[in-house]
A and B are shown apart, each in its own frame.
Chain A
Amino acid sequence: MSRVRQYQSNFTIGEIDPLLRGRVDIEQYYSSVEKAKNVIFEPQGGFSRRPGLKYVGDLGTPGVTDAIRLIPFEYSTGQTYLLLLMLTSATNLRLTVYKDGVLQTNLNGSGNNYVDRTVSTFTATNLRGLSYTQNADTMILTHRATAPFTIVRGAGDTNWTIASITFEGKPQVKPSVWGGSFTTFGGTSITSSPTVTLSATSGVAKATFSSTAYGVSVFENDRIIVTQPKGFGSCEVVDMLSNTEARVNILIPFHSTDAINASDYSIESEWSDNWNGNSGYPHTCTFHEGRLYFGGTSVEPMTLWGSKVGDPYNFRPTEGLDDDAFQVTLTTDKVNTITALRSGRDLQIFTTGGEFFIPQADLDPITPSNVAVKSTTKRGAKPNIKPVATEGGTFFIQRQGKALREFSFSDVELSYVSQNVSVLASHLIVDPLAMAIRPATDTTEGDLLMIVNGTSTTGYRSASSGLGGKLIFYMINKQQNIVAPSFAETDGTFIDIGVDLDTIYVVVKRTINSATKYYLEVFDDDYTTDSSVQKTSSFSGTSYNLVAHLNAKTAKVIRDDIVESDVTVNSSGTITTSAQPSSYIEAGLDFTVQVITNPVEPRLPDGVSISQKKRILEATPLLYRTQNLTINGFEVPLQTLPYSGGGAVPTITGMKKMHGLTGYDTDAKLTISQSKPVFFTVLSVDFKLALGL
């Protein structure tokens, strides 16, 4: 009957993959847990109940299912906004603006709380693929399916305009040629063979075609070049007189005015502006070192364009000086469709085929003469998820949507590497839709990276079942080797996430009274329930209409740290309490906290005990400001003497020992949960184990 004391001092590896069950040989096993639901790991080592979701507003129903996107907008220090884009129909994009969690109303004096923009047919996926970059008052948004446009904040919080970008110069596309072996022109296949006859051999003449094989528009400003053996001549179409007649300006005299056979001449279109309905629009954008960069159109998905320095809307190269515009194409042996650009230490280019950057020797700026794109790793980035940056690294989702990688510069390899951050918990990532990061704040030392899982589980392992529509947290502190994943579950499905400085907004799709609702909610450390509302003043009586948006739901009610009886919400959202609140009342939806520790491995001198039966007979969690906790289903008694008689929930910091835990198992583990929706933080767990002969 040997007794072994065990102490798990930290949980900084978070939840680990079930496939790691046998890896008792790795150190991470002893700093991780088997399951971490609705908790957030602290970079210091413990874990806490995740913050509740404060209800901000009902977003209405988008015209296209789930087509809502949250985008942060930082106008100036102290003036930050959350932009919410929603497709009210497949062709109408609607902008609403939140500042500090408050909807900005009567935008531009229009009486509306929104600004609309017409787009070509958009889907929810298109909306997620919208790339954006922001500088001062202007945000530039791009997608290959629509012309680039800007969202500009005007004089105040309620002045917002959306407009197409008027380019000072667009990059030029090469001429299209018809004739000889070229059988298409301007994307149109030409099969007939008209002859052309000129009315003069020099000067201004009229060219007459024998048939109307070419559309009028094709010819405008194009050149007709006569090739050998009939001699060389060239003319430029000035004007189309009809479908078969054009006025031309002869640049190089022709040999005669005889009809010229189709096989003897060719047509070359003029250089034209890129980025139009035919060539497609740039898909990604970022500002980097004074230039605006666009990446990839539907026709040229692997091309990167840089604007002139300090002239972000001018992409037309002129004299080739250092500040001139340029374009480069990412040609390797793979298809490198650009999915995202990021301005980091270098300009980082994420594509479906691999990761690239523009190297700069000796900190030189990028110029048309030195620009070169270097290939690094060949992981490929998933389209429609904007990578996020922290501590010098860039996090992106690998193309298959199953791994989170950090793209960072390695001084050893003198190149970028794409380290797999999710290797110990890749089962958590399911059909990822959106990603955001909340940088370290004054209360938390770690960066919190969040991934919204989609609901399509096709192609994912069974270990990932049940994780669709959840929100995955990664608490990250690179210096301390902390990557601690956990996940949030709410009564509904997470749709999108956006971080306004350190405020985390989410869009949650809930089913309320049999209807589908899209709510904007925000993680708030003072709340312990979801979709919740607090009232902190003007108390009178014991009945308050707080949560009409939760009609027919069962709401948890907390008054002055006293957990009241559950309330089934009526259409007015009425909450009743047993006494008049004095400091606050909160009502919202409950969520279940569950942390299951890894099966214990005591690492005894005589070898591993993985197959031996073990019993955890005693557990002592080290608590910090904890109001309620259960271990293996038993509530940890937190009341201190004198027993207060069921009043306010006490807040305990310190150790509480739980005796008499039962059950022998080869997989001895602790299940830490809560029976009440109040705060808790577990810093570490000391426990006693029985095993042996």
Chain B
Amino acid sequence: MASGDTDVKICNKALLLLGAGAISSFSDGSTQATACSTLYPDIKKTTLGMYPWSFTVAKATLTRQTATPNNEWTYQFTLPNDMLNGVPRAVRTSSSAGSPIYKNWEIAQASDGTAVLMTESTTIYIDYQKAVGETLMPHYFVNLLGYQMAWHLAEVITDQTTKSQYWKEIALGTVTENLRGGFFRQACNIDAGGQTPSVVGDYLLTDVR
């Protein structure tokens, strides 16, 4: 973990890459600070949500609401407040290890307009992506976020569109890479390196091989 990182530090890394002067806070009154405070929060969330970063995945037991859906589903569950994307990455009905993925659910609006998880199960355990503070972000993600900030800040700070294009490619690669290249790919690789490889499970058609 890149301990000690803060939003201002990450923005200052981006500003340094652009050759701009550092800021002391988001409210120090400088042009850079104004731009950073406007752009940073959403860029951070978007970048966190671009890939299921291991450090963002959390598990939670959902609370079933007393209200029930007026539709084909029987129960509705409150989603966690700190969910990044609004969609769980996995849903299970049991908290025991190795329990299978449960697919009988749907995210939909409850009658009061809030998003809820509707299902047939009475208990729901989910895996979901959770927003993470800067102090807990690993180095590869901090770097990626710096590059992301750099290309977003480039034009407003330097008045140079070529710089914006340059740092976009550093961060995300080219359009031909579907914007999944550049340092983003490196960061994904590093992040994936620590996860258990997926194994193809037993299946009738493969068993005969």
Q: What residues make up the interface of A, taking CB atoms closer than 8 Å to B? A: 1, 612-613, 615, 617, 662-664, 690-693
CB of B20 closer than 8 Å to a CB of A: yes
List of 3 A-B pairs having minimum Cβ-Cβ separation, nearest first:
A613-B159, A663-B21, A1-B162
Say yes or no for B133: interface residue by CB 8 A criterion.
no
Q: Which residues of B contact A690 (CB under 8 A)?
A: 19, 158, 160
Q: Which residues of B contact A663 (CB under 8 A)?
A: 19-21
Q: Mark B146-163, 1 if CB is under 8 A from A, else 0.
A: 000000000001111111
Jot down 9 A-B pairs with beta carbons below 8 A, ordered by A. A617-B19, A663-B19, A664-B19, A664-B159, A690-B160, A692-B160, A692-B162, A693-B160, A693-B162
Contact B161 A662 (CB under 8 A): no
A354 CA / B159 CA spacing, docked (Å): 53
Report the bound CA distance from A662 to B14 in whole Å.
Answer: 12
- Measured CB to CB, the closest approach of chain A to B138, in angstroms, equals 27
A615-B20, A693-B160, A693-B161 are known; give 14 further A-B pairs, CB within 8 A.
A1-B160, A1-B163, A612-B159, A613-B157, A613-B158, A615-B19, A662-B15, A662-B20, A662-B22, A663-B19, A663-B21, A664-B21, A664-B159, A691-B159
A663 → B minimal CB distance (Å): 4
Contacts of B16 in A (CB 8 A): 662
Q: Is B166 an interface residue (CB 8 A)?
A: yes
**B-chain residues with CB within 8 Å of residue A662 when the two chains form the complex:** 15-16, 19-22
Tell me how many residues of B have a C-beta within 8 Å of chain A: 15
Shortest Cβ distance from residue B46 to the other chain A in the assembled complex, whole angstroms: 25
Shortest distance between the CB of B162 and any CB in chain A (Å): 5
Instruction: Say whether B162 contacts A664, CB under 8 Å.
Output: no
A664 in complex: contacting residue of B20, B22, B161, B166, CB < 8 Å = B20
Residues of A within 8 A of B21 (CB): 662-664
Instruction: Tell me whether chain A's interface is mostly helix, strand or loop, or mixed.
Output: loop
Q: Across the two chains, which residue of chain A brings its CB closest to B162?
A: A1
B135-190: which have CB < 8 Å to A? 157-163, 166
Give residues in B with beta carbon < 8 Å to A.
Answer: 15-16, 18-22, 157-163, 166
- Which residues from chain B contact A693 at a C-beta distance below 8 Å? 160-162
**From residue B39, how far is it (CB to closest CB) to chain A in Å?**
16
Which residues in A have their C-beta under 8 angstroms from that of B19? Answer: 615, 617, 662-664, 690
Interchain CA distance A664-B162 in the complex, whole Å: 15
B150 CB to nearest chain A CB (Å): 13
Q: Given the complex, which residues of B lie within 8 Å of A612, measured CB to CB? A: 159
A1 to chain B: closest residue by CB: B162
| Across-interface contacts of A691 in B (CB, < 8 A) | 159-160
Nearest residue, chain A, Cβ from B20:
A664
Q: Which residues of B contact A664 (CB under 8 A)?
A: 18-21, 157-159
Question: Once the chains are docked, how many angstroms separate the CA of A615 from the CA of B22?
Answer: 13
**How far apart are the CA atoms of A690 and B157 in the complex, in Å?**
12
Please, which residues of chain A bring their CB within 8 A of the CB of B162?
1, 692-693
Closest B residue to A617 by beta carbon equals B19
Q: What is the minimal beta-carbon distance from B200 to any residue of chain A, in angstroms?
A: 48
Task: Provide the bound-state CA to CA distance between A663 and B21, in Å.
Answer: 4
Contact with B166, one of A1, A615, A617 (Cβ below 8 angstroms): A1
Residues of B within 8 A of A1 (CB): 160, 162-163, 166
Q: What is the minimal beta-carbon distance from A631 to any residue of chain B, in angstroms?
A: 14
Residue numbers in A under 8 Å from B166 (CB-CB): 1
Residues on the A chain within 8 Å of B18, using CB? 664
User: Which chain A residue lies CB-closest to B158?
Assistant: A664
B158 contacts across to A, CB distance below 8 A = 613, 615, 664, 690
Give every chain A residue within 8 A of B161 (Cβ-Cβ).
Answer: 693
A1 to B154, CA, bound (A): 11
Distance from B108 Cβ to chain A, minimum over Cβ atoms (Å): 48
B35 to A: closest C-beta gap in Å: 11
Give A611's nearest chain B residue, CB to CB.
Answer: B159
* Closest Cβ–Cβ distance, residue B147 to chain A (whole Å): 16
A613 vs B32: C-alpha distance when bound (angstroms): 13
Closest Cβ–Cβ distance, residue B149 to chain A (whole Å): 15
**Most B CB atoms within 10 A — which of A662, A664, A693?**
A664
A662 to B32, CA, bound (A): 12
Least Cβ–Cβ distance between B114 and chain A, in angstroms: 44
A607 to chain B, nearest CB (A): 15
Bound complex: CA A443 to CA B47 (Å)? 64
CA distance A599 to B188 in the complex (A): 44
Q: How far is the CA of A89 from the CA of B117 in the complex (A)?
A: 96
- Docked Cα-Cα span, A663 to B15, in Å, equals 9
CB closest chain-B residue, reference A660: B19
Q: Which of A1, A612, A690 has the most CB of B within 10 A?
A: A1
Q: State A693–B159 Cα separation when bound (angstroms).
A: 7
Inside 8 A of B22's CB, which chain A residues have their CB? 662
Which residues of chain A are near B15, meaning CB under 8 Å?
Answer: 662
Instruction: Say how far B177's CB is from chain A's closest CB, in angstroms.
Output: 22
Task: Kindly report which residue of chain B lies nearest to residue A632, judged by CB atoms.
Answer: B21
Docked CA distance A663–B20 (Å) = 4
The distance from the CB of A597 to the nearest CB of chain B, in whole angstroms, is 17
How close is B19's CB to chain A, nearest CB, in angstroms? 5
Q: Which residue of A lies closest to B163 (CB)?
A: A1
Name the distance in Å between B32's Cβ and chain A's nearest Cβ. Answer: 8
Nearest Cβ on chain A to B74's Cβ, whole angstroms: 59
Smallest Cβ-Cβ distance to B15: which chain A residue? A662
Shortest CB–CB separation between residue B168 and chain A, in angstroms?
Answer: 14
Task: Give the distance in Å from the alpha carbon of A613 to the alpha carbon of B159 in the complex.
Answer: 6
Contacts of A692 in B (CB 8 A): 160, 162
A617 contacts across to B, CB distance below 8 A: 19
Within the assembled complex, what's the spacing in Å between the Cα atoms of A691 and B159? Answer: 8
Q: How far does the alpha carbon of A122 sit from the alpha carbon of B110 in the complex, in Å?
A: 95
CB distance from B169 to the nearest CB of A (A): 13
A residues near B20, Cβ cutoff 8 Å = 615, 662-664
Q: Which chain A positions have C-beta within 8 A of B159? A: 612-613, 664, 691
Q: How far is the CA of A291 from the CA of B157 in the complex (A)?
A: 71
Q: How far is the CA of A1 from the CA of B21 in the complex (A)?
A: 18
Complex alpha-carbon distance, A691 and B162, angstroms: 11
Q: How far is the CA of A693 from the CA of B154 in the complex (A)?
A: 11
When chains A and B are docked, how far (Å) is the Cα of A663 from the Cα of B157?
Answer: 9
Among B16, B20, B158, B161, max chain A CB count under 10 A is at B158
A344 CB, min distance to chain B CBs, angstroms: 53
Closest to B157 in A: A664
Complex Cα–Cα for A662 and B158 (A): 11
Which of A612, A617, A690, A691 has the largest count of B CB atoms less than 10 A from its CB?
Answer: A690
Question: With the chains together, A690 CA to B158 CA distance in Å?
Answer: 9
Smallest distance from the beta carbon of B189 to chain A beta carbons, Å?
A: 29
A693 to B165, CA, bound (A): 11
**What is the minimal beta-carbon distance from B36 to any residue of chain A, in angstroms?**
14
Measured CA separation A613–B20 after assembly (Å): 11
User: Nearest residue in B to A616 (C-beta to C-beta)?
Assistant: B19
CA distance A690 to B162 in the complex (A): 12
Give the docked Cα–Cα distance between A615 and B160 (Å): 11
Question: What residues of A have a CB within 8 angstroms of the CB of B163 in the complex?
Answer: 1
A508 to B22, CA, bound (A): 41
CA distance in complex: A693, B21 (Å)? 20
Expressed in whole angstroms, the Cα–Cα distance for A613 and B15 within the complex equals: 14
| A46 CB, nearest partner CB in chain B, Å | 28
Q: Give A410 Cβ to nearest chain B Cβ, in Å.
A: 48
A34 to chain B, nearest CB (A): 18
Residues of A within 8 A of B160 (CB): 1, 613, 690-693
Name which residue of chain A comes closest to B22, CB basis. Answer: A662
Min C-beta distance of B28 to chain A, whole Å: 14
Measured CA separation A690–B19 after assembly (Å): 9
Nearest-Cβ distance from residue A617 to partner chain B, whole angstroms: 6
Which single residue of chain B is at the shortest CB-CB distance from A692? B160
Q: Quick one: closest B residue to A613, CB to CB?
A: B159
